[in-house]
Structure 1
Amino acid sequence: MGNGNSGAAAGGGAIYGLGIFGAWVYFWQEADGFWWHLLAVLEGLVWPALMVYDAFGALN
């Protein structure tokens, strides 16, 4: 049996996933050429983590 927090974890993962997809759409539209599109995929993976890091820094 779970500890009762699995719903909260799933919700956080869903929000984070939407952040990744949103970043991919944005960076993909801004990219021009193969290497820029490859960079857009990588930026889409990293950008939401940086936003969460900055958000926690602002709560300090």
Structure 2
Amino acid sequence: MPDSRRSTQIVESTGQSVVFFLLAYIGAAIYFVSRSDGSFWGVVLGIFQGFVWPVYVTYHVLDLLAV
């Protein structure tokens, strides 16, 4: 029979990383939208580019390393 006095506590702490990635997404979206031509599809593309900005960073880092 299990001991009812024993308990297991699991603590997840993801709040700080979520805030960092949210701020990074907002900043990247503002950057890409500000570089667009101001048309509707330009703004939509800028928001999409802000969502996938780590791909741009990875590509340019690998390009600089000549990999």
**TM-score, normalised relative to structure 1:** 0.66
Question: Which structure dedicates a bigger proportion of its chain to helix?
Answer: 1
1:3 corresponds in structure 2 to 10
Greater RCO (CA < 8 Å, at least 6 residues apart)? 1
Number of residue pairs aligned between Structure 1 and Structure 2: 51
In the TM superposition, 1:1-60 aligns within 5 A as 3-6=10-13, 9-32=14-37, 33-47=39-53, 49-50=54-55, 51=57, 54=58
**TM-score, normalised relative to structure 2:** 0.60
Q: Hey, what's the Cα distance between the residues in 1 that align with 2:34 and 2:22?
A: 19
Query: Identical aligned pairs, as a percentage?
Result: 27
Instruction: Return 5+ residue gaps in structure 2 as ranges.
Output: 1-7, 59-67
Choose 1 or 2 for highest CA Rg. Answer: 2
